Amino acid sequence: MTDLTLGIDVSKDTLDVCLLSPDCRLTRRYSNDHKGHRALHGWIKKRCGSLRPHACLEATGQYGESIADFLFQRHYSVSVVNPLKIKRYAQSLFIRNKTDRADAQIIASFCQQRTPALWMPPAPHYRSLKAMARRLDDLKNALIQEKNRLHATGGEGWVAANITCHIEYLDEAIATLKKQIQDHISQHPDLRRKRELLCTIPGIAQLTAARILSEIPDLGQFESARQLAAYSGLTPRNHVSGTSVHPRARLSKQGNVHLRCMLYMPAVVAKRYNPIVVRFYQRLVDRGLAKLAAIAACMRKLLHIVYGVLKHEAPFDPNYLANQPSAA
């Protein structure tokens, strides 16, 4: 349990904060920019002196990255937690009000009671890689939408011609960004080495390797491959109640959606060409598991292999399992 905590509810333009201690609860609102960040830091220094509260905010995307980094650079303990944890905590307290100020108080209380794990900012070159990889996803989604619109027009008329021009622009922008991503990795020895290791895994090519590295900047935050799978939402979620409720286990999907989605096609390839995944997939199908569910399991298996290759800094070994000593 932490005595002094700072809950931060982040939005695009504002930060609602709650400073919580055993004898007081103070709330304020600041702008979500450098001026607001400095004002928040000054207010905390005035209230707490040399003490630094444990700051906590939800992992809500890019709007919270700047304040988290600002506080970290000034020696605050910072935690960035899954919003679902905050939601479930609020439900456990039967809190019905939903305002920015109330959310900041809930986050501060959660931090005080649960003492979540500390956050570490990724290195600048990893942050740049993540931004480029996320931008690539945006461009690809826009391309799919435009192709669907072109199909709806029947390919004729001014609108179709305009959409075609935009498709050509998107194709060129995607090709350029793919090259920039690979050039960026090649300029940094640590990224380049990890890309080379990942590309030894059948089913993972250079672009997939780049996207994986953009979402996993620090493997050290995961103590096991299972933790990494849970982070991506690829662990099964079982629901068993009494003697009659036994629905089929499903993926939890409570994790990094970008990492989860990018592994689908590599898993489809791996179940044909990766010897470890081939045997794993066939065993699941032989047991009667639906093919789509088996592919989801292969996504998890592939992520376990990624973890092992990066953790041990060794190329993929197709005979790794065969070389392991059998259990007594």
How far apart are the C-alpha atoms of 99 and 209, rounded to whole Å? 41
The model's confidence at residue 274, banded by pLDDT at 50, 70 and 90, is: very high
Q: What is the pLDDT of residue 243?
A: 47
Q: Which residue has the tokens 């009494």?
A: 242
Q: What is the DSSP string of 3-61?
A: SSEEEEEE-SSEEEEEEEETTEEEEEEEESSHHHHHHHHHHHHHHHTT---EEEEE--S
Nearest CA among 147, 15, 119, 17 for reference residue 59: 119
Residues 255-269: pLDDT tens digits?
A: 688 888 899 999 999
Q: Which residue has the tokens 């794990």?
A: 117
| Stretch among 13-27, 85-99, 126-140, 228-242 having the lowest mean pLDDT | 228-242
Nearest CA among 130, 286, 300 for reference residue 217: 130
- Average pLDDT rounded to a whole number, residues 204-230: 89
How far apart are the C-alpha atoms of 81 and 103, rounded to whole Å? 14
203 has pLDDT over 60: yes
How far apart are the C-alpha atoms of 166 and 184, rounded to whole Å? 26
251 has pLDDT over 80: no
Residues 80-89: pLDDT tens digits?
A: 988 888 988 9
The type of residue at 162 is N
How far apart are the C-alpha atoms of 145 and 155, rounded to whole Å? 15
Token pair recorded at residue 93 = 């307290």
- Average pLDDT rounded to a whole number, residues 314-319: 90
- Average pLDDT rounded to a whole number, residues 57-84: 90
Q: What is the pLDDT of residue 241?
A: 43
327 has pLDDT over 60: no
Residues 86-114: pLDDT tens digits?
A: 988 988 888 777 788 999 999 999 999 99
Q: What is the pLDDT of residue 199?
A: 96
Contacts of 26 (CB under 8 A, 6+ apart): 18, 19, 47
Strand partners, 310: none
Q: Which residue has the tokens 């194709």?
A: 171
236 has pLDDT over 80: no
Q: What is the pLDDT of residue 326?
A: 43
Q: What is the pLDDT of residue 321?
A: 59
Q: What is the pLDDT of residue 5?
A: 95
CA atoms within 13 A on the CB side of 166: 17
Which stretch of DSSP H or E encloses residue 74? none
C-alpha of 91 from chain center: 24
Residues 123-177: pLDDT tens digits?
A: 999 999 999 999 999 999 999 999 999 999 988 889 999 999 999 999 999 999 9
How far apart are the C-alpha atoms of 281 and 298, rounded to whole Å? 7
How far apart are the C-alpha atoms of 183 and 187, rounded to whole Å? 6
